[in-house]
Amino acid sequence: MRFPRGSGILLHPTSLPGRFGIGDVGPSAMSFVDQLKEAGQKYWQILPVTPTGKGNSPYSSYSAFAGNTLLVSPESLVDDKLVSTSSIENIDLPRGRVDFIAARNLKSDLLSEAYESFRSGTTPELNEDFAAFCREHFWWLDDYALFVALKNSHDGEPWFKWSESLRSRQRDAIDQVRSQMAREIQAEQFAQFIFFRQWSAVKEYANEHEVNIIGDVPIFVALDSVDVWCNQSQFKLNEDGTPQVVAGVPPDYFSETGQLWGNPIYEWHKMVADDFGWWTARVAFALRICNAVRLDHFIGFVRNWEVPGGDETAENGSWTDVPGELLFSALKRRLGDLPLIAEDLGSMTPEVEHLRDSNGFPGMRILQYAFGGDAYNTNLPHNFSQNSISYTGTHDNDTSVGWYNAADKKAKKHAKQYLRSAMKEPHWELIRTSLSSVADVAITPMQDFLGLNSDSRMNTPATESGNWEWRLSEDKFTPDIIAKLRKLSEEFGRC
């Protein structure tokens, strides 16, 4: 489907300002929606909001369905009378980069207090809402809460290192655990209820203000996830639960040895036989909590780079075909029009282009990739199609200022000539170019509006530390910047 012409900002909720060590989906999220509306923006793009695993990456999650309870708002817990005002009034964690350890400890304590308040009967008005949530979401919630309880009882060990009876989900063992750990399981169900209660309020508020939220669905799930534990036959695993092959990408722009993601690969022929039941549930759920969804690594719906399990780099992988045509046919048959964005970056092939275009999905165009080559570069604006999404950069890119400072002479010269600019403010030159393009949607990372350098990038691919920590400082998205963005958006018909 085609997206209405407009523009928006890429900002993950963890990057919102506040005093609790990490951004959340409380008042600061509502305030950001107000700023988007004031700036004439129609879209708020986020990264996955699922629970993060090793390295705090939103692309490595314990569940494809659960919410990240680190994003729970302490202030909203007070509003719901689940925690006392005194529990949060003296908290003022550092407001610079995300402090995942401090935030995790804080949110764990507050959610425990909230659960005890709920159990003690101080919030009877939430009883039916919680019961309804559990009934509606039982199909993923029950297994996820059990998985978390088991993982905690095993000191965080991955599921494939549990006892055979639990690893293979033998019914007697599972039933026994559900009985023995009923309190821990319900506590996690309640935490999920709180997250989705708060997130639903943010989405409703955004939509009321004519701001659409663009979510993100990674193509793969983590090996140590409830999705793999509960669906082992649909992944290429060894008998002990370890992966036969893992996902990655071959050597490319980002890494000379490729990227070894480590995710297990789907047994696609079994998913075909199941008429893609798991994928249908996943996409339907994502489109319920967001208005549209970016499909990460769209190339992977045509072919996967499979690396032998145990390899330390992605160099020795091989390509295997994926039944993407059958998958999207099944999704459209069941779900109707699909407001999906194809992250079609990387080594494009005619097959990938056909899958994208035959389904009407817009692709992505990145201005940071446009300069230093020839006139046929698809990331140059004169080669854009209307049914595309224009970006200055993505969460995996440097900031536009950082990119330009590090660019070679050829790329800088090309950018100056093409944009007819001295590039004194490279971020605003790219923003203006993106907004003026024919692309239906133009998305800009928040860091670019602020003119920040490389220290403020969100992620550096193929690195394991220092990522996902950037946060927006209080009052940095100033009225002047908001007014300038609105003026440009109006000028190019995006309001």
The residues, any chain, with a CB within 8 Å of residue 292's CB and separated by 6 or more, are 3, 212, 213, 214, 215, 339, 340, 341
Active site residues: 296, 343, 396
Does any domain span residue 70? Answer: yes
CATH of the domain at 341: 3.20.20.80
| Rounded-to-integer distance, Cα 63 and Cα 50, Å | 6
Does any domain span residue 193? Answer: yes
Does any domain span residue 348? Answer: yes
Does any domain span residue 164? Answer: yes
Q: How far is CA 195 from CA 43, 72, 187, in A?
A: 22, 6, 13
- Per the document, the length of the chain is 495
| Rounded-to-integer distance, Cα 64 and Cα 92, Å | 32
| Rounded-to-integer distance, Cα 275 and Cα 494, Å | 39
Does any domain span residue 426? Answer: no
- State the residue for tokens 């000539």: 417
Does any domain span residue 139? Answer: yes
Listed as ranges, residues in the chain with pLDDT below 70 are: 254
| Rounded-to-integer distance, Cα 245 and Cα 230, Å | 19
Domain holding 466, by residue range, is: 6-362+440-491
Q: Are 392 and 427 in contact (CB under 8 A)?
A: yes
Residue 178 structure tokens: 């559900």
Residue type, position 263, single letter = N
- State the residue for tokens 């993923």: 140
Does any domain span residue 392? Answer: no
Which 8-state DSSP code applies to residue 318?
Answer: E
Q: Write phi, then psi, for 260 (nearest 5 degrees).
A: -95, 100
Which 8-state DSSP code applies to residue 18?
Answer: -
CB atoms within 10 A of CB 11: 27
Which 8-state DSSP code applies to residue 229?
Answer: H
- State the residue for tokens 């209660």: 197
56 phi-psi bin (left φ>0, alpha ψ -120 to 50, beta other): left
Does any domain span residue 425? Answer: no
| Rounded-to-integer distance, Cα 469 and Cα 482, Å | 24
**What sign results for the dihedral spanned by CA atoms 48, 49, 53, 54?**
positive
Helix (H, G, I), strand (E, B) or coil at 9: strand
Q: Which neighbouring-strand residues pair with 391?
A: 366, 443
Q: Domains in the chain: how many in total?
A: 1
How much is the pLDDT for 254? 66
